[in-house]
Chain A
Amino acid sequence: MREQTFFKPLFVTVSGLLIWAAHFTVIYAVNALACERLWMAQRIFGMGLVPFLILMATLVAAGTLAVIGVLAFLNRTPSLPDAANERTTIFLRKVTITVLALSFVAVIYQTIPAFIVPACG
């Protein structure tokens, strides 16, 4: 049966939001750990540990979002078999791209405070 063709397109369609969620979890955990275990004072490359790690996480997340976005743009994300489904494939692709774009904004949005707000009060 054709169910296998379901999970991949679904996964790709919401991939932006999954990446957002992963990024959110990581930076929240990093900050919680740093504050509870008092690691926040350490510095890396002249940057506080917390902002540094958050920046790294953001680069990874934003990079992945961009790569999937380009693939979707070039029609390289999974499509449905047979021509009858072309409209559905195009629809899913467009949703994928807008989801990626919104997730990109959300990820960047979440990173900015790391450079403005002190990590642990």
Chain B
Amino acid sequence: MEYPNSLPRPAEELEKLEKVWEPPRGFRMFSAVNNNYVGVYYVGASFLFFILAGVLALIVRTQLAVPENELVGHELYNQLFTMHGTVMMFLFAVPAVEAMGVLLLPNMLGARDLPFPRLSAYAFWAYFAGGLAFFCSIFFGLAPNGGWFMYPPLTSMEFSPGLNADFWLLGIGFIEISAIAGAIEIIVGIMKTRAPGMSLDKLPVYAWAMLVFAGMIVFGFPAVILATALLELERAFDWPFFLADRGGDPVLWQHLFWFFGHPEVYIIFLPAAGMVSMIVPAMARTPLVAYRLVVLALLATGFLSFGLWVHHMYTTGIPPLSLSFFSAASMAVAIPSGIQVFAWIATFAAGRIQFKVPTLFVLGFLFIFTLGGLTGVMVALVPFDWQAHDTYFVVAHLHYVLIGGMVFPLFAAFYYWIPIVSERPLSERLGKWVFWLLFIGVNVTFFTMHITGLAGMPRRVYTYPENVSWGALNMVSTLGSYMIAAGVLVFVIDMFRNFRPFTGKNAGNVWNAGTLEWLPSGNYQTRSIPHVTSREPLWDQPKLAHDVVAGRYYLPGAPTGGRETIITSPIDARPQYLLKLPGSSWGPFLGALFTAAFFMSLVVKLYMVGLALGALAIAMIIWWMWDTDPETRDHPIKVGDEVELPINVVGPASHSWWGTVVLILVGATLFTCLVFSYLYLWLVNGEIWLPETHQLPELVWFVVPTALFLASSAAVVFAGRQASQLPRVNPWFLRAAVFLAIPLMMAGLATAIYADWHVGLRPSESSYGAVVYMFSVVQGVYVAALTLMGLFVLARSLTGRLSASRRASLDNTALLWHYMTAQGVIGLTLTHFFPRLMGLS
């Protein structure tokens, strides 16, 4: 094929590239934003939480080793298992797979970095600082104790009056922020920063898996964000969402929680499956069998898993036919999982296996995960579930699935990919020890628990009497768990001996794998960005590594004098424009610390301090936003001898447009969950939901706020039109329109709230009041954010940073603005007309 660039390259080109991407040293490591650094920090932090949560599990297991043990009392025990489950799920599992994505994706896609590096850095630090603070609550006896799914009414104010439950809500506030930030980053990264030629049919399976994973976060996490917000409001201000005596319903929590919680299991599993689909072909030295079916399986799992949430609620009195739908879906989702398992086995069979440590972990994964899947089919059957519900059988099942489905693939991934970030690979000899200790330990611990559960031992009990004969089984489980700990310890030793990141060197393609992350690389990733013609380019284009290093492909230097990467089209990966990437910056680090401190002060009810910290966090974000959307050059930039790309484009091709659209999807899902909550409360508590004496506001109170929201959007549209005619028109028209839109929007919100208030509706009186005001709460978040964004646009215009071709700040604000209006109008329509339609008032 034709090469984009001719050789030899100018001598100073590589030097300049290295200089531009030079990593920060010393203290300034905290200000690093590029994925090579943040990815490693992120993986490391999640592993730290794995160890911390593991220590809690060991205490739990020690407590249960013998009957009538007095090691920890029941109060501490409750905190221990709650923290273990919560930290494992929220601070280890989700961040770990997301972290691997941040670390691996740019390498694998042939990008210099993900499109929003500062967002990744911010998400990481917020998660790390907040997570540590959350973990420390256990040392003060303030840790949550309601189990990792925190069912109300146990966690309502009446039964959990202390701060413990609030710490849980805080703890997962961080993972919510960082997971969603990461999902936006990953979606836009996979869609827009692929190497030229890497069309969707050549996308590495891992990238498909991460795309589905990120999509699932976008549609799954909003449910739990809403749920935690509702519970927080109920606890702080007595809004009765879950209190049955005022028309609330604790089962609403279960619906919202499991609508997120079941997909969560696949959110954890799919990236792991994606990793396995990369490791298996490399270890078998042959392409993955049935690539297309595996892609189908990933897509289907992503969807079907949302139809399973009720299988966690079989015992809540839901009608039998409804349960059957979920039971049927639980079976259907086994099909795509089965497809993947067969594809891996077939690939192993088709190739020549290298029996290295990653292979062992993959085989261990297949064994354990399959067993977990089998018990999963068992508990998906309603009558069996009624027997096994809340016994140790379920604890056994969930650990088989989670450890088999996620921890083993993760260890495989560590052993497999560490050579790309470390000067030395990990040790084969120690790795075998790690594997066997973990494999035997896990089976000893958890296989036994199936029997303990069938023998009737309930989960979440801190001790049990002598005479029930559970003692021997529990002792075996405890010994097994110490074996697991020993395995993890050997792994840590291996890491200390061999893991050498950030040295500027790496061990290279030790497995002779075929995908782009194995190209020789520096902090800038690859010297030049290759043109890809197949799924395993390193196998099919034998000279690729050599040519990439020589600088024959795209973007061999740093033509703008800063960091940059190529943005390509989402399906066929044609180069579209050159994206300027930010260098190291303190903004994300400081912003994250302030965010963490902000949440902490809310939990301990220091509202004024919190306000100040929140303002500081926002200031940091504005600081870094300020230099996004750079000046567009009139002349395009050369990335190849004949290939020129513009910098910064306007509209749907731009990466920031994509980011905003994904954010809107998150918002729309949250709003849909709120509509669901409204209708659900009406459905189950119709009689006391809306007190009979209550008068709805007159219809004029529907018209006025609707008109105000629409007017504010119209002003924003006008501003956009003006902007495209700059500099021919007077910029003050645009400024006036944006300035006017803000009070219009605020007045819309204020009149909506006033309408309910003046007819005497109070949020704490009934679940109806609470849920109606909740629409305004959600709307208020957008009004606050858009006020800031509007002022930001004004500031940019006043300082000459807004023009017809440099207008991302305005365009993205406008997108969100129209979404806010749409959401407001839909909410008003529902709350004004639904009760009338049902003849309720």
Contact = CB atoms under 8 A, between A and B. Distances in A.
Contacts of A94: 292
B321 A20 contact: no
A113 B329 contact: no
A3 B577 CA distance: 13
B307 A24 contact: yes
Interface in A11-41: 13-14, 17-18, 20-21, 24, 27-28, 31-33, 35-37
Contacts of B335: 102, 105
Interface in B536-587: 569-572, 574, 576
Contacts of A106: 304, 328-329, 332
B325 A95 contact: no
A77 interface: no
Given A50-B321, A87-B201, A102 B300 contact: yes
B325 A28 contact: yes
Interface stretch (B60-68, B489-497, B645-653): B645-653
B815 interface: no
B653 A121 contact: no
B1 interface: no
B interface, over-half SS: helix
A112 B325 CA distance: 9
Contacts of B274: none
B815 to A, nearest CB: 14
A68 to B, nearest CB: 15
A109 interface: yes
Q: Assign chain B's interface to a size class.
A: 35 or more
Contacts of A113: 321, 324-325, 327-328
Nearest to B679: A29
A17 B594 CA distance: 41
Interface string B313-343: 0000001111011011101100110000000
B328 A109 contact: yes
Contact of A88 (B200, B303, B304, B331): B200
A110 B303 CA distance: 15
B292 A98 contact: yes
Nearest to A103: B300
Nearest to B652: A3
A119 B652 contact: no
Nearest to B323: A117
A84 B321 contact: no
B572 A17 contact: no
Contacts of A121: 319-320
A118 B321 contact: yes
Given A88-B199, A95-B295, A102 B336 contact: yes
Interface in A80-111: 80, 84-85, 87-88, 91-92, 94-95, 98-99, 102-103, 105-106, 109-110
Nearest to A20: B303
A24 B329 contact: yes
Given A91-B200, A106-B329, A109-B331, A117 B300 contact: no
Contact of A119 (B296, B306, B321, B572): B321
B684 interface: yes
Interface size class, chain A: 35 or more
B543 to A, nearest CB: 22
A32 B652 contact: no
Interface in B633-664: 649, 651-653
Interface in B127-146: none
Nearest to B307: A24
Contacts of A102: 296, 300, 335-336
B293 interface: yes
Given A102-B336, A119-B319, A2 B569 contact: yes
Given A21-B307, A36-B684, A14 B329 contact: no
Contact of B574 (A2, A103, A105): A2
Interface string B667-684: 000000000000000011
Contacts of B327: 113
A36 B191 CA distance: 44
A18 to B, nearest CB: 8
A120 interface: yes
Q: Which of A50, A106, A114 has the most CB of B within 10 A?
A: A106
B840 interface: no
A84 B572 contact: yes
B19 to A, nearest CB: 32
B753 interface: no
Contacts of B320: 117-121
B51 interface: no
Find the residue from B332, B683, B684 having the highest chain A CB count within 10 A.
B332
A106 B327 CA distance: 11
Nearest to A110: B328
A110 B321 CA distance: 10
B299 interface: yes
A80 B328 contact: no
Contact of A32 (B201, B306, B322, B574): B322
A12 B649 CA distance: 27
Interface string B682-699: 011010000000000000
Given A31-B321, A85-B572, A98-B292, A1 B328 contact: no
Nearest to A107: B332
B572 A91 contact: no
A9 B572 CA distance: 12
Closest 10 CB pairs of A and B: A113-B324, A1-B653, A91-B201, A17-B303, A3-B652, A88-B199, A120-B319, A106-B332, A35-B319, A6-B570
26 contacts: A1-B653, A2-B569, A17-B303, A17-B304, A18-B303, A21-B307, A35-B319, A36-B684, A88-B199, A88-B200, A88-B572, A91-B201, A95-B296, A95-B299, A98-B292, A99-B296, A103-B300, A105-B332, A106-B329, A110-B328, A110-B329, A113-B321, A118-B320, A119-B321, A121-B319, A121-B320
Given A88-B200, A88-B572, 9 more contacts: A1-B649, A3-B652, A6-B191, A32-B319, A102-B300, A109-B331, A110-B332, A116-B324, A117-B324
